[in-house]
Amino acid sequence: MGFDAYETIGFAAAVLTTIAFLPQVYKTWKTKDVSSLSLPMLILFFIGIVLWLIYGFLKHSPSMIFANSITVLSAILLLYFKLKYGKK
Amino acid sequence: MGFDAYETIGFAAAVLTTIAFLPQVYKTWKTKDVSSLSLPMLILFFIGIVLWLIYGFLKHSPSMIFANSITVLSAILLLYFKLKYGKK
Protein backbone atom coordinates (compact mmCIF):
# COMPACT_ATOMS: atom_id res chain seq x y z
CA MET A 1 0.00 0.00 0.00
CA GLY A 2 1.60 3.23 -1.15
CA PHE A 3 1.09 6.87 -0.26
CA ASP A 4 -2.51 7.87 -0.76
CA ALA A 5 -2.83 11.65 -1.13
CA TYR A 6 -6.64 11.51 -1.00
CA GLU A 7 -6.69 9.64 2.29
CA THR A 8 -4.02 11.93 3.73
CA ILE A 9 -6.36 14.89 3.09
CA GLY A 10 -9.30 12.97 4.56
CA PHE A 11 -7.26 12.03 7.61
CA ALA A 12 -6.06 15.63 8.12
CA ALA A 13 -9.69 16.77 7.82
CA ALA A 14 -10.79 14.23 10.44
CA VAL A 15 -7.99 15.23 12.83
CA LEU A 16 -8.77 18.96 12.49
CA THR A 17 -12.55 18.70 12.91
CA THR A 18 -11.93 16.42 15.91
CA ILE A 19 -9.35 18.53 17.77
CA ALA A 20 -11.21 21.76 16.86
CA PHE A 21 -13.62 21.27 19.76
CA LEU A 22 -10.92 20.81 22.40
CA PRO A 23 -10.08 24.55 22.70
CA GLN A 24 -13.84 25.23 22.93
CA VAL A 25 -14.21 22.68 25.74
CA TYR A 26 -11.18 24.18 27.53
CA LYS A 27 -12.42 27.78 27.15
CA THR A 28 -15.92 26.90 28.33
CA TRP A 29 -14.56 24.91 31.27
CA LYS A 30 -12.27 27.79 32.35
CA THR A 31 -14.68 30.69 31.84
CA LYS A 32 -18.02 28.94 32.58
CA ASP A 33 -19.35 31.36 29.93
CA VAL A 34 -21.90 29.63 27.73
CA SER A 35 -23.98 32.69 26.82
CA SER A 36 -23.17 32.66 23.11
CA LEU A 37 -23.31 28.88 22.64
CA SER A 38 -26.54 27.75 20.95
CA LEU A 39 -28.35 24.95 22.83
CA PRO A 40 -30.10 23.61 19.67
CA MET A 41 -26.65 23.50 18.00
CA LEU A 42 -25.22 21.44 20.85
CA ILE A 43 -28.18 19.03 20.89
CA LEU A 44 -28.25 18.48 17.09
CA PHE A 45 -24.46 18.17 16.99
CA PHE A 46 -24.42 15.64 19.84
CA ILE A 47 -27.08 13.42 18.22
CA GLY A 48 -25.30 13.74 14.85
CA ILE A 49 -21.94 12.68 16.30
CA VAL A 50 -23.55 9.71 18.09
CA LEU A 51 -24.95 8.61 14.71
CA TRP A 52 -21.50 9.09 13.07
CA LEU A 53 -20.03 6.91 15.82
CA ILE A 54 -22.66 4.19 15.23
CA TYR A 55 -21.99 4.45 11.49
CA GLY A 56 -18.25 4.07 12.16
CA PHE A 57 -18.89 0.88 14.13
CA LEU A 58 -21.25 -0.50 11.45
CA LYS A 59 -18.66 0.23 8.74
CA HIS A 60 -15.80 -1.15 10.88
CA SER A 61 -13.90 2.10 10.41
CA PRO A 62 -11.28 2.57 13.15
CA SER A 63 -10.63 6.17 12.01
CA MET A 64 -14.30 7.13 12.30
CA ILE A 65 -14.67 5.34 15.62
CA PHE A 66 -11.57 7.06 17.03
CA ALA A 67 -12.36 10.56 15.74
CA ASN A 68 -16.04 10.46 16.70
CA SER A 69 -15.33 9.01 20.15
CA ILE A 70 -13.26 12.09 20.96
CA THR A 71 -15.80 14.43 19.39
CA VAL A 72 -18.72 12.81 21.22
CA LEU A 73 -16.89 13.46 24.50
CA SER A 74 -16.41 17.12 23.52
CA ALA A 75 -20.09 17.33 22.57
CA ILE A 76 -21.22 15.77 25.88
CA LEU A 77 -19.01 18.14 27.89
CA LEU A 78 -20.19 21.24 26.01
CA LEU A 79 -23.84 20.19 26.39
CA TYR A 80 -23.26 19.55 30.11
CA PHE A 81 -21.58 22.97 30.56
CA LYS A 82 -24.40 24.69 28.67
CA LEU A 83 -27.09 23.07 30.81
CA LYS A 84 -25.13 23.63 34.04
CA TYR A 85 -23.91 27.20 33.52
CA GLY A 86 -26.74 28.39 31.27
CA LYS A 87 -29.19 28.47 34.15
CA LYS A 88 -27.72 31.55 35.75
CA MET B 1 -30.54 -1.08 -4.98
CA GLY B 2 -32.51 -1.80 -1.82
CA PHE B 3 -32.84 -0.07 1.50
CA ASP B 4 -29.46 0.38 3.13
CA ALA B 5 -29.81 0.87 6.89
CA TYR B 6 -26.14 1.72 7.31
CA GLU B 7 -26.23 4.50 4.75
CA THR B 8 -29.48 5.82 6.21
CA ILE B 9 -27.71 6.24 9.56
CA GLY B 10 -24.70 7.86 7.84
CA PHE B 11 -26.98 10.19 5.92
CA ALA B 12 -28.92 11.17 9.07
CA ALA B 13 -25.58 11.80 10.81
CA ALA B 14 -24.42 14.03 7.94
CA VAL B 15 -27.70 15.99 7.92
CA LEU B 16 -27.62 16.55 11.71
CA THR B 17 -23.97 17.63 11.94
CA THR B 18 -24.60 19.95 8.97
CA ILE B 19 -27.79 21.65 10.16
CA ALA B 20 -26.48 21.78 13.76
CA PHE B 21 -24.49 24.94 13.01
CA LEU B 22 -27.43 26.85 11.52
CA PRO B 23 -29.02 27.72 14.93
CA GLN B 24 -25.55 28.79 16.11
CA VAL B 25 -25.13 31.07 13.07
CA TYR B 26 -28.64 32.49 13.63
CA LYS B 27 -28.08 33.07 17.36
CA THR B 28 -24.70 34.73 16.80
CA TRP B 29 -26.08 36.88 13.99
CA LYS B 30 -29.02 38.04 16.14
CA THR B 31 -27.19 38.61 19.43
CA LYS B 32 -23.74 39.62 18.09
CA ASP B 33 -22.50 37.83 21.24
CA VAL B 34 -19.35 35.84 20.48
CA SER B 35 -17.79 35.99 23.96
CA SER B 36 -17.98 32.26 24.65
CA LEU B 37 -17.04 31.09 21.14
CA SER B 38 -13.44 29.87 20.96
CA LEU B 39 -11.43 31.46 18.12
CA PRO B 40 -8.99 28.50 17.84
CA MET B 41 -12.04 26.21 17.57
CA LEU B 42 -13.48 28.26 14.72
CA ILE B 43 -10.14 28.38 12.85
CA LEU B 44 -9.37 24.65 13.20
CA PHE B 45 -12.97 23.76 12.34
CA PHE B 46 -12.97 25.98 9.25
CA ILE B 47 -9.71 24.49 7.90
CA GLY B 48 -10.96 20.98 8.70
CA ILE B 49 -14.24 21.51 6.83
CA VAL B 50 -12.38 22.96 3.81
CA LEU B 51 -10.29 19.76 3.76
CA TRP B 52 -13.47 17.62 4.05
CA LEU B 53 -14.90 19.54 1.10
CA ILE B 54 -11.73 18.95 -0.98
CA TYR B 55 -11.85 15.28 0.04
CA GLY B 56 -15.49 15.11 -1.06
CA PHE B 57 -14.57 16.51 -4.49
CA LEU B 58 -11.60 14.12 -4.84
CA LYS B 59 -13.82 11.16 -3.91
CA HIS B 60 -16.64 12.38 -6.16
CA SER B 61 -19.04 12.21 -3.23
CA PRO B 62 -22.10 14.43 -3.82
CA SER B 63 -23.25 13.92 -0.19
CA MET B 64 -19.94 15.09 1.22
CA ILE B 65 -19.75 18.02 -1.19
CA PHE B 66 -23.30 19.08 -0.35
CA ALA B 67 -23.01 18.71 3.44
CA ASN B 68 -19.58 20.32 3.70
CA SER B 69 -20.52 23.20 1.40
CA ILE B 70 -23.26 24.19 3.84
CA THR B 71 -21.00 23.64 6.86
CA VAL B 72 -18.14 25.64 5.32
CA LEU B 73 -20.56 28.57 4.90
CA SER B 74 -21.57 28.26 8.58
CA ALA B 75 -17.90 28.11 9.57
CA ILE B 76 -17.01 31.19 7.49
CA LEU B 77 -19.93 33.17 8.96
CA LEU B 78 -19.09 32.20 12.56
CA LEU B 79 -15.42 33.06 12.03
CA TYR B 80 -16.44 36.38 10.47
CA PHE B 81 -18.80 37.17 13.38
CA LYS B 82 -16.12 36.24 15.92
CA LEU B 83 -13.52 38.51 14.28
CA LYS B 84 -16.03 41.34 13.79
CA TYR B 85 -17.84 41.32 17.13
CA GLY B 86 -14.98 39.94 19.24
CA LYS B 87 -13.07 43.22 19.02
CA LYS B 88 -15.33 45.10 21.38
Instruction: State the helix-helix crossing angle for A39-58 and B21-31, rounded to 10 degrees.
Output: 160
pLDDT value for A4: 86
Specify the DSSP class assigned to residue A35: T
Between residues A60 and A46, the one the model is more confident about: A46
A8-43: per-residue pLDDT in tens?
A: 999 999 999 999 999 999 999 999 999 999 999 999
- Domain hosting A45: range is 5-85
Does B13 sit within 8 Å of A55, measured CB to CB?
yes
Confidence at residue A88, expressed as pLDDT on a 0 to 100 scale = 56
CATH number of the CATH domain containing B41: 1.20.1280.290
The predicted pLDDT at position A2 comes to 57
CA B12/CA A9 separation, integer angstroms: 24
pLDDT in tens, A44-55: 999 999 999 999
Domain count along chain B: 1
Least CB-CB distance to B35: which of A26, A36, A47?
Answer: A36
Query: What ipTM was reported for this prediction?
Result: 0.89
Q: Choose among A45, A42, A58: nearest CA to B9.
A: A58
> Residues of A near B (CB-CB distance < 8 A)?
6, 9-10, 12-24, 26-28, 31, 33-38, 40-42, 44-45, 47-49, 51-52, 54-55, 58-59
* pLDDT of amino acid A43: 98
Computed from CA positions of residues A18, A68, A66, B72, in that sequence, does the dihedral angle turn out positive or negative? negative
pLDDT tens string B38-84: 999 999 999 999 999 999 999 999 989 999 999 999 999 999 999 99
* pLDDT for position A5: 87
